[in-house]
Chain A
Amino acid sequence: MAGEKEIRTQIASIKNTQKITKAMEMVAASKMRKAQDRMNATRPYSQKMLNVIGHLANAHAEYHHPFLIEHAEVKRVGFIIVSTDRGLCGGLNINAFKAALKAMQDWQQQGVGIDLCLIGAKGTAFFKRFSGSIISQVSHLGDTVHIGELIGTIKTMLDAYTEGSIDRLFLVENEFVNTMTQRPKVSTLLPLVAEDNEELKHHWDYIYEPDAKVVLDELLRRYIESIVYQSVVENVACEMAARMIAMKSASDNAGELIADLQLAYNKARQAAITQEISEIVGGAAAV
């Protein structure tokens, strides 16, 4: 059995760790609430935008935007992968990366090349060793992300699609189900599939200013950006929730460890006292 003093120092060091994990848990909890608010605040924009796009798609514009055209042959695909900047958030990033790798493998088996666009420092560190080419990257966005910081990164991928250097564009993100559950999700960004919605079937004859091409181009670009932006904001909420849970279980584990050590410490102390008494008794008997 280890000595009393050693156990005592071990308990002290675990207590320190527990203090840190508890603090991180509380910080993550309060940040999560804010992130969730932000996440909900982004919803109306893409919803309205989807409405407008739906109206336009039903308005029979003579112009077909490149984002709406499906490339028949797939030679190269693009992935936008959203990850966090910091660690200590459980399996959040790894789960998303696994989902991404699985989707990539399917394409690679068909001999399709892969271009990557990485958002977040963890994704950059992970996919640096990956054989696909990294086209663009952005990280250190902080907890409050602004759409302006993402425009450039997204544009590289959109341009690649317009030029025909990639034939599909996917988004890998974490879906915020609830505080306990975050689910990795791979979704198709491009080509955009116009949804057939009965509600939107009435025929509007829009006037386009300056013209349909310019307006559609701006609209679709913003739409994709807003989807990616939304997923980044959602990812922040996921990160905070995952960190909160991870830190909570770390604190709990530390508590268990301390309890075990405390027991061992008490036993060691008791043994030492018993030994001392028996020595004294033995000594007294000898006299």
Chain B
Amino acid sequence: MAMTLHLDVVSAEKALFSGTVSAVFAPARMGDVGIYPRHTPLVTSLRPGELKIEVEGKEDQYLYVSGGILEVQPHVVTVLSDTAIRAEDLDEAKAMEAKQRAEDALRDQKGDLDAAKAQAELARAAEQLRMIERMRKMRK
């Protein structure tokens, strides 16, 4: 029996690869790993790098992953690939940005001001209309 394993490579935005392969090489956090069938169960995070997929009788395929997680079971390998570049301090910066935006949105009362202005104008116009209506009636 030919030794194969099933590989799934998925990212949050779409599925990238799914099929039967003979070996996978991945850039793991602690160094590159080569996964052949019957590998011992392993979970590891990935560095940004190249994923090499070997399929019997076909040319090797390469996929770029910008990090993610690799799960290995004896005959099933799953790569959860990131689409965004991740780093602890980069994430932190993004979080700060999101907070800043919230504060800006709260401070920005311009929208409300415009609404208030429009409302005042509307009230004035309605008052004018009522005046015209009254004058018409008086004339009749």
**Size of A's binding interface in residues, CB under 8 A:** 47
Q: Are A204 and B111 in contact (CB under 8 A)?
A: no
Nearest CB of chain A from residue B79's CB, rounded to whole Å = 9
Compute how far the CA of A128 lies from the CA of B113 in the bound complex, rounded to whole angstroms.
13
Residues of A whose CB lies within 8 Å of any CB of B are 38, 41-42, 44-46, 48-49, 51-52, 55-56, 117-118, 124-125, 128, 134-139, 146-148, 151-153, 155-156, 159, 204-210, 214-215, 218-219, 222, 225-226, 229
Q: Are B102 and A155 in contact (CB under 8 A)?
A: no
Nearest CB of chain A from residue B24's CB, rounded to whole Å = 15
**Mask of B8-30 contacts with A, CB within 8 angstroms, 1/0:** 10111111000000000000111
Q: Are B42 and A209 in contact (CB under 8 A)?
A: yes
Compute how far the CA of A215 lies from the CA of B30 in the bound complex, rounded to whole angstroms.
12
Q: Are A210 and B30 in contact (CB under 8 A)?
A: yes
Chain B, range 83-123, C-beta contacts under 8 Å to A: 83-86, 91-99, 101-102, 105-106, 111-112
B40 at the interface (CB under 8 A from A): yes
Compute how far the CA of A208 lies from the CA of B98 in the bound complex, rounded to whole angstroms.
32
Q: Are B43 and A209 in contact (CB under 8 A)?
A: yes
B49 at the interface (CB under 8 A from A): no
Q: Are A207 and B41 in contact (CB under 8 A)?
A: yes
Q: Are B28 and A209 in contact (CB under 8 A)?
A: yes
Chain B, range 43-98, C-beta contacts under 8 Å to A: 43-45, 68-69, 71, 73, 78, 80, 82-86, 91-98
Which A-chain residue is minimally distant from B82 (CB atoms)? A222
Partner of B44, one of A38, A51, A215: A215
**Size of B's binding interface in residues, CB under 8 A:** 42
Q: Are B45 and A218 in contact (CB under 8 A)?
A: yes
Compute how far the CA of A127 lies from the CA of B112 in the bound complex, rounded to whole angstroms.
13
Query: With contacts A118-B102, A219-B69 known, is A151 near B45, CB below 8 A?
Result: no
Q: Are B12 and A134 in contact (CB under 8 A)?
A: no
Query: With contacts A44-B15, A52-B80, A56-B43 known, is A159 near B95, CB below 8 A?
Result: yes
Query: With contacts A52-B78, A206-B42 known, is A42 near B12, CB below 8 A?
Result: yes
Contacts of B102 in A (CB 8 A): 118, 134-137
Contacts of A222 in B (CB 8 A): 12, 68-69, 80, 82
Query: With contacts A52-B80, A134-B102 known, is A204 near B10, CB below 8 A?
Result: no
Most chain B CB within 10 A, of A134, A135, A147, A209, is at A209
Compute how far the CA of A214 lies from the CA of B69 in the bound complex, rounded to whole angstroms.
11
Query: With contacts A156-B95, A209-B29 known, is A48 near B44, CB below 8 A?
Result: no
Compute how far the CA of A207 lies from the CA of B44 in the bound complex, rounded to whole angstroms.
8
Nearest CB of chain A from residue B41's CB, rounded to whole Å = 4
Q: Are B44 and A44 in contact (CB under 8 A)?
A: no
Compute how far the CA of A155 lies from the CA of B28 in the bound complex, rounded to whole angstroms.
24
Contacts of B86 in A (CB 8 A): 151
Query: With contacts A152-B98, A209-B45, A222-B69 known, is A147 near B13, CB below 8 A?
Result: yes
Query: With contacts A152-B93, A156-B99 known, is A226 near B30, CB below 8 A?
Result: no
Contacts of A151 in B (CB 8 A): 84, 86, 91, 94-95
Partner of B71, one of A41, A55, A148, A153: A55
Compute how far the CA of A267 lies from the CA of B99 in the bound complex, rounded to whole angstroms.
62
Which A-chain residue is minimally distant from B93 (CB atoms)? A152
Contacts of A226 in B (CB 8 A): 12
